[in-house]
Amino acid sequence: MASDAVHDINSLVSSKGRDFLIRNNGDQVKISSLVGKNVGLYFSASWCIPCCLFTPKLAKVYEPLASKSDFEVIFISSDRDENSFKEYFSKMPWLSIPFADLETKKSLKKLFNVNGIPHLVVLDAKGKVSTEKGVDLVVEYGVDAYPFTSQHIQALIDKEAKKMSQTISSLLVSKSRSYVVSNDGNQIPVSKLEGKLIGLYFSTHGHKLCDEFTQNLIEAYKKLKEKGENFEIVLISLDDKDENLFKEAFKTMPWLALPFKDEKCQELKQYLEVSDIPSLVIIGTDGKISNPNAVELIKEHGIDAYPFAPKKIERVDEVSNTKLESESPKPALVCGARDLDLEKNKGKVKVSCCSGEMSKLDEGAKEEKLNVTVSCCSGETSKNEKEVEEEKPKVKISCCSDEMSKNDEKVEEKKSKVKVSCCSEKTSKNDKEEKDGCKG
């Protein structure tokens, strides 16, 4: 089986008279340059909607990994004509087997038993298959899935399981300490924080952005305390060089903290995946992560965003968008435009979203007599797609996720023509009827 073998990358993707791969600008890259790298074999095609929507997800993973020079992707196309191949490949930052090399592409599909696309096989640096489920892993874990080995994925699963069972005590208590401290030196048992909404504030004294945000946070904290909210902040200082500076800075803060240079500080930074400072990780009353970083939210909305959970954020954003809507008398049907503008127009409307995600207000796109085409190439489908209902128009739904939405089967039109397909390496019965569908 392909998954048990060790593959030589040179013989695997080369052919008689060809020892190179190509970039979308026409440059040739020697296959030998991939020796010793982790390589993803990406089976895809422009006609496959899930492929079109998975490609941007893969690109987000590829870019930071490729910059480290230890990961490469090779596109194995199932496109049926060279123009379609070139147009699709132009959106990819990685390498490809030349379109004309049908024999190599066919042999790779057979070797790795590719029956459906998108399909991503990842080979390790020695040429052994790390996974044949690369698509699922990229969707589930993003760049964290690298290097895609079973051991690494199991570690991610274990980490997620640990987070599901975490409490504020398991986060803050160490073997030698079961308390946090106040700025007057008192020790407060961590158990007293159970059942509260907690903000873990990662900061460094003397860091310009941290010092500026600290003032915003102090103001918000005092207002929430005045309102009697069940909220507390614990400072996780990442400054472990000068205890006097730590104490001096902490005196200006009205909340609690882990002791200076406590072993938990760096441990929490890594466990909670804090990459920027300042960061304010919100821990819900159940001990689970409610918001991985509420800094920008507090800067923009202050205590109006409390308790800083996603649903509250959406409501705050809706209020902001409604205000903007009232100030904008003319519709702006461009990338990122508010979908509510559709309600103000009657006619033939084409909505194209290239912003990176569908607007959360697409549920407002309801017109009685519109011919509407909804096309998204963002990499994500809207959670409200099932609410886009048209009484009389002809609607074509193009989905750009790695798999069809579970709600697609619920999209019903009384007087419209809707086609929903998925991708197979076998020929689809709709192949000649629907160019934009998933055809094999």
Tens-of-pLDDT digits for all 440 residues of the chain?
455 678 889 889 998 889 999 999 989 999 999 999 999 999 999 999 999 999 999 999 999 888 877 899 999 999 999 999 999 999 999 999 999 999 999 999 999 999 899 999 999 999 999 999 999 999 988 888 999 888 888 888 887 777 777 899 999 999 899 999 999 989 999 999 999 999 999 999 889 999 999 999 999 999 999 999 999 999 999 987 888 889 999 999 999 999 999 999 999 998 898 989 999 999 999 888 999 999 999 999 999 999 998 765 555 555 555 544 555 544 433 333 334 444 444 444 443 333 333 343 344 443 333 343 334 343 344 444 444 333 334 333 233 333 333 343 333 333 333 333 346 655 444 443 333 434 33
Same domain for 93 and 132?
yes
At 201, give phi and psi (nearest 5°): -100, 105
pLDDT per position as a tens digit, 284-325: 998 889 999 999 999 999 999 999 987 655 555 555 555 445
Domain count, the chain: 3
Which pTM value belongs to this model?
A: 0.49
Distance separating alpha carbons of residues 382 and 375, to the nearest angstrom: 11
Distance separating alpha carbons of residues 222 and 74, to the nearest angstrom: 55
Domain assignment of residue 49, given as a range: 9-151
| Contact criterion met (CB below 8 Å) for 431 and 48 | no
Residue 426 belongs to a domain: yes
Half-sphere exposure (CA, 13 Å, Cβ side) for 294? 32
pLDDT per position as a tens digit, 45-54: 999 999 999 9
Same domain for 112 and 223?
no
Same domain for 31 and 120?
yes
Closest CA to 15 of 116, 131, 104, 97: 104
Give 3-state DSSP helix, strand, coil % of the chain, rounded to 5.
Answer: 35, 20, 45
Same domain for 36 and 114?
yes
Strands annotated E in 274-403: 279-283, 289-291, 348-353, 371-376, 396-398
Residue 440 belongs to a domain: yes
Same domain for 177 and 311?
yes
| Contact criterion met (CB below 8 Å) for 121 and 131 | yes
Residue 347 belongs to a domain: yes
Same domain for 23 and 142?
yes
